[in-house]
């Protein structure tokens, strides 16, 4: 396959960025999208041009390190992460536009790499259950209803990639936050801190500059792990209850 790539290049956090166009030949349909970029970079190094910086680590769809807006879609046209997107989803002769996540709380560091540390700070605000090492009771002493445990697991699969924020016209991280609120809120162990958790996490979310949710649903459509939109309903419900009870 032969492709035309239009890629955002930006030398550093404060530098001016611009789209640059590259032609790339010899792309195989079995390549992952990132292997296609590896091929481009190998070519750039040969030509003496600095390779395109992009994030990736596990390359098996679980670490959440990879990102990219591909033709305006977070993680591209399939419901998966960019590292699991394969070139068989594209055609010979295609032009592909590649940009970093676009959201104010995710500033660009270089080329396609952004800073997502705001997500860590949201978790720090309350996205945990306080259980010091050694203090845990016997694991089977508290049964967890299977349906609730299943829902907890399904939303706990969030990989923290930030696609939901990048896809949202408001730059909201409600899906990310709702997934954690729902995961911990569905389990018996998560109950003691349930109300303070939601209030504190939402407070941090807003302080980071993420926008509010207006029920557009782009986040759930872009989520590579298919976190459902109802976690935001859960988030709102828990927040309402918490505020009503004076948290």
Partner 1 sequence: MAAGTHYLPGLTPTNEAPVQKSDDAAGFYQLGEKLVDEKAPTGPIAERWTTRKFENRLVNPANRRKLSIIIVGTGLAGGAAAATLGEAGYNVKSFCYQDSPRRAHSIAAQGGINAAKNYKEDGDSTYRLFYDTVKGGDYRARESNVYRLAEVSANIIDQCVAQGVPFAREYGGLLDNRSFGGVQVSRTFYARGQTGQQLLLGAYQAMERQVAAGTVEQFTRHEMLELIVVDGKARGIVARDMVTGAIETHLADVVVLASGGYGNVFYLSTNAMGSNVTAAWRAHRKGAYMANPCYTQIHPTCIPVTGSHQSKLTLMSESLRNDGRIWVPKNAADCDKDPREIPEEDRDYFLERIYPSFGNLVPRDIASRAAKYMCDEGRGVGPQVAEVGADGEERLVRRGVYLDFKDAIARLGEDAVREKYDNLFDMYERITGENPYQVPMRIYPAVHYVMGGLWVDYELQSNIEGLFVAGEANFSDHGANRLGASALMQGLADGYFVLPNTIREYLADGPFEPVSESHPAVVEALESVQERVNKFMSVNGTRSVESYHKELGSIMWEYCGMERTEEGLKTAIQKIRDLRADFWKNVKVLGSADSLNQDLEKAGRVADFLELGELMCIDALNRRESCGGHFRAESQTEDGEALRHDDEFAYVAAWEWGGDSNEGGQPVLHKEDLIYTAIEMKQRSYK
For position 96 contacting partner 1 by CB under 8 A, the verdict is no
Binding partner 1 (rule: CB under 8 A), the pick from 20, 23, 42, 91 is: 42
CB 67 within 8 A of CB 161: yes
- Quote the least distance from Cβ 141 to partner 1, whole Å: 9
Q: Are strands 108-110 and 113-114 parallel, antiparallel or unpaired?
A: antiparallel
For position 59 contacting partner 1 by CB under 8 A, the verdict is yes
CB 126 within 8 A of CB 202: no
Binding partner 1 (rule: CB under 8 A), the pick from 14, 30, 93, 169 is: 30
Backbone angles phi, psi at 168, to 5 degrees: -80, 130
Q: Near partner 1 by CB under 8 A, which window of 68-76, 94-102, 156-164, 205-213?
A: 156-164
Distance CA 210, CA 75 (A): 20
**Which of the residues 117 through 146 are near partner 1 (CB under 8 A)?**
117, 119-120, 123-125, 127-140, 142-146
Binding partner 1 (rule: CB under 8 A), the pick from 68, 99, 178, 183 is: 183
Distance CA 26, CA 23 (A): 10
CB 104 within 8 A of CB 165: no
- Quote the least distance from Cβ 61 to partner 1, whole Å: 6
CA angle (157, 162, 168) in 5-degree steps: 115
For position 110 contacting partner 1 by CB under 8 A, the verdict is yes
For position 34 contacting partner 1 by CB under 8 A, the verdict is yes
Q: Judge residue 210's burial from the number of C-beta atoms within 10 Å of its C-beta, 0-12 exposed, 13-18 middle, 19 or more buried.
A: buried
Binding partner 1 (rule: CB under 8 A), the pick from 6, 9, 86, 237 is: 86
Binding partner 1 (rule: CB under 8 A), the pick from 7, 40, 65, 175 is: 65
If we measure between CA atoms, which residue out of 171, 235, 229, 170 comes closest to residue 202?
235
Size of the site for partner 1 (CB under 8 A): 78
| DSSP single-letter state for residue 79 | S
Distance CA 5, CA 240 (A): 47
- Quote the least distance from Cβ 82 to partner 1, whole Å: 12
For position 92 contacting partner 1 by CB under 8 A, the verdict is no
Binding partner 1 (rule: CB under 8 A), the pick from 6, 22, 24, 62 is: 62
- Quote the least distance from Cβ 172 to partner 1, whole Å: 19
Binding partner 1 (rule: CB under 8 A), the pick from 3, 61, 220, 242 is: 61
**Which of the residues 204 through 223 are near partner 1 (CB under 8 A)?**
none
| DSSP single-letter state for residue 136 | P
């Amino acid at each position: 396959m032969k492709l035309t790539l239009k890629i955002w290049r930006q030398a550093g956090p404060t530098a001016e960025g611009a789209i640059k166009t590259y032609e790339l030949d010899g792309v195989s349909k079995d390549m992952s999208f990132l292997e296609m970029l590896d091929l481009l970079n190998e070519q750039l190094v040969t030509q003496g041009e600095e390779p395109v910086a992009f994030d990736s680590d596990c390359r098996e769809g679980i670490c959440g390190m990879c990102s990219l807006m591909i033709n305006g879609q977070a993680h591209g046209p399939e419901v998966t992460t960019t590292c699991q997107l394969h070139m068989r989803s594209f055609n010979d002769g295609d032009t592909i536009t590649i940009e970093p996540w676009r959201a104010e709380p995710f500033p660009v560091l270089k080329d396609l790499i952004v800073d997502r540390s705001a997500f860590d700070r949201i978790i720090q605000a309350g996205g945990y259950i306080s259980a010091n090492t050694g203090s845990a009771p016997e694991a089977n002493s508290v049964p967890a209803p299977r349906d609730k445990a299943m829902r907890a697991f399904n939303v706990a699969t969030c990989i923290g990639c930030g696609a939901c924020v990048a896809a949202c016209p408001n730059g909201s991280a409600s899906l990310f936050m709702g997934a954690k609120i729902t995961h911990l809120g569905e389990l018996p162990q998560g109950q003691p801190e349930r109300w303070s958790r939601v209030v504190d996490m939402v407070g941090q979310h807003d302080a980071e500059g993420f926008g509010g949710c207006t029920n557009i649903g782009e986040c759930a459509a872009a989520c590579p792990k298919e976190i459902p939109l109802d976690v935001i309903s859960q988030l709102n419900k828990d927040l309402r209850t918490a505020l009503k009870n004076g948290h």
